[in-house]
Amino acid sequence: GVNLEALRETNALNRAEVMLQQAAKLNCRSFVTPQDVVNGVYKLNLAFVANLFNNHPGLDQPEEIEGLESIEETREEKTYRNWMNSMGVKPHVNWLYSDLADGLIIFQLCDIIQPGIVQWKRVHQKFTPLRKFMEKLENCNYAVELGKQLKFSLVGIAGQDLSDGNATLTLALIWQLMRAYTLSILSRLANTGNPIIEKEIVQWVNSKLQSAGKRTSLKNFQDSAIADGKIVIDLIDAIKPGSINYENVREGGNPEENLENAKYAVSMARKIGARVYALPEDITEVKAKMIMTVFACLMAMDYVPNMDSAAKPVASVQSSTPSPVASANSNGLAAAAAASPEPKQQEPKEVVQIVEAPVAAPVITNGNGTLEESHDSEWNDQETTNTTTTTTTGETISEAATAATTAAASSEAVVDEFAD
């Protein structure tokens, strides 16, 4: 067995070798050599000690503590948590009540449901050490205020309840958030402002399955054929052909195989981009409301892949227009670019036309970059009047055109470029 023979050695190298021989008796001679021990190579010695502790910790067996309850996540809580994480909120939600206590997750969800509703200037996104409790409470109070703006029923719910992690009241708010999101999806699919009805979703599912040559079909959301998950699997493959590996699909008919198919269906739906937040158990138990959300999310993904960026085209156009304006700055056209009266134009080229209009007429009089003296003042008066009557900004465009004309007349290169 293991003994203290190594302590009798006076030579450090020999002592290290004897020590490792004792470690070998415990099957723990790894990572280090006697030289590594003597030289104190940190990482190797750390690995040696960690391996020794891992195999022979020398600790007493822990006793079970009576009265200690294991907190398990309910199915309802797991559904809500999956839904939040499917929305791409940050940080990732692990436990509802603690992760929602600062209100930041709720703000992100509200902004997804109704873009622009959150006034982010009122939100504390970073907390100071001495005021973090008050700042988190202010966030929660604002979250309740937003819920009321979304027409939620929040009787008896205050920001303090969310901050304290009150389970019943927190779940009540989350349920209404999830319902509002589902209704927003259905409304976007209908394009009428009213939620799409069950019959239309069923018709779309069957049409999609038939066009892809699938044998499965759907009667309604209470159809027992949904339980084995094959309808959802076939629909996913119809939306994105080749995404399903049918070798992984079980025959079904018993609870175990049905659940495996349902898990595969949910994971593949998320993989192709559908924000499915139902649980596999909802499919096997044919929970009609949750089944509806599965098909609605798949329908939304198929119809409108970027449904949550519907409001982004305006922003993207605005961000793309500065490129012609930036080039105009170096050509003396900054004033005309700044006077553009239509920031909401969907096509950047229309903004560019407004930039060019006041410049082109005065600078193409003789082709050499200068204006004729006999028409200079007369043209300015006439063009100012025309600009005022043909644009929505009136004097702003007129002043910009005059400034652009003066700048253009002083630069022959600018005249040649815009004359072309």
pLDDT tens readout for residues 316-367 = 333 333 433 333 333 333 333 333 344 444 444 444 444 444 444 444 444 4
pTM here?
A: 0.50
* Residue 139 neighbours by CB under 8 Å, 6+ apart: 102, 103, 104, 107, 123, 124, 159
Residues, the chain: 420
Rounded distance between C-alpha atoms, residue 332 and residue 327, angstroms: 9
Distance CA 275, CA 304 (A): 12
Give the pLDDT score at 193: 65
The dihedral over CA atoms of 6, 8, 13, 16, expressed in degrees to the nearest 10, equals 10
Q: Which residues of the chain have pLDDT under 50?
A: 306-398, 400-401, 403-420
Structure tokens at 393: 């900004």
Asked if 419 and 364 touch (Cβ cutoff 8 Å), the reply is yes
Q: Note whether residue 315 is domain-resident.
A: no
Residues 177 and 205 both lie in one domain: no
Rounded to whole angstroms, the Cα distance separating 74 from 80 reads 10
Confidence (pLDDT) at 300: 85
287 domain residue, yes or no? yes
Query: Rounded mean pLDDT of the chain?
Result: 77
Domain assignment present for 318: no
DSSP one-letter code for 58: -
- Residue 230 in domain: yes
> Which pair of tokens denotes residue 338?
């700044």
- Which tokens sit at 319? 């961000």
Q: What's the confidence (pLDDT) of residue 412?
A: 45
**Cα(365)–Cα(383) distance, rounded to whole angstroms?**
14
Same domain, 95 and 186: yes
Q: State the pLDDT at residue 416.
A: 45
271: tokens are 């993989």
User: Which residue reads 């349902």 in tokens?
Assistant: 262
389 domain-assigned: no
Determine the pLDDT at residue 182. Answer: 83
CA distance 51 to 118: 53
pLDDT confidence of residue 184:
83
Residue 407: CB atoms within 10 A of its CB come to 18
State how far the Cα of 290 lies from the Cα of 296, in Å rounded to an integer: 10
Residue 103, Ramachandran bin (φ over 0: left; ψ between -120 and 50: alpha; else beta): left
Q: Is 184 helix (H, G, I), strand (E, B) or coil?
A: helix
Tokens of 12: 């450090």
What is the per-residue pLDDT across 260-284, written as a single tens digit (0 to 9) for each?
999 999 999 999 988 888 899 999 9
The count of structural domains within the chain is 3
Candidates 92, 127, 122; CA nearest to 107 is 122
Whether 162 and 104 map to the same domain: the answer is yes
pLDDT given for residue 295 in this prediction:
92
82 and 129 co-located in one domain: yes
Same domain, 100 and 24: no
- Residue 91 structural domain: 75-190
Residue 368 lies in a domain: no
Q: How many CA atoms does the CB half-sphere of 90 hold within 13 Å?
A: 1
What's the half-sphere exposure (Cβ side, CA atoms, 13 Å) at 336? 27
Three-state SS at 123 = coil
Task: Give dist(CA 121, CA 200) in Å, integer.
Answer: 41
Please report, for the domain that includes residue 117, its CATH number.
1.10.418.10
- Can you read off the two tokens belonging to residue 155? 């009787």
Please choose, from the candidates 96, 181, 103, the residue with its C-alpha nearest in 3D space to the C-alpha of residue 136. 103
Distance CA 204, CA 263 (A): 23
The reply to whether 216 falls in a domain is: yes
Residue 252's pLDDT is: 86
Give the residue among 353, 359, 368 at the shortest CA–CA distance from 402.
359
Q: Show which of 238, 272, 303 is a domain's final residue.
A: 303
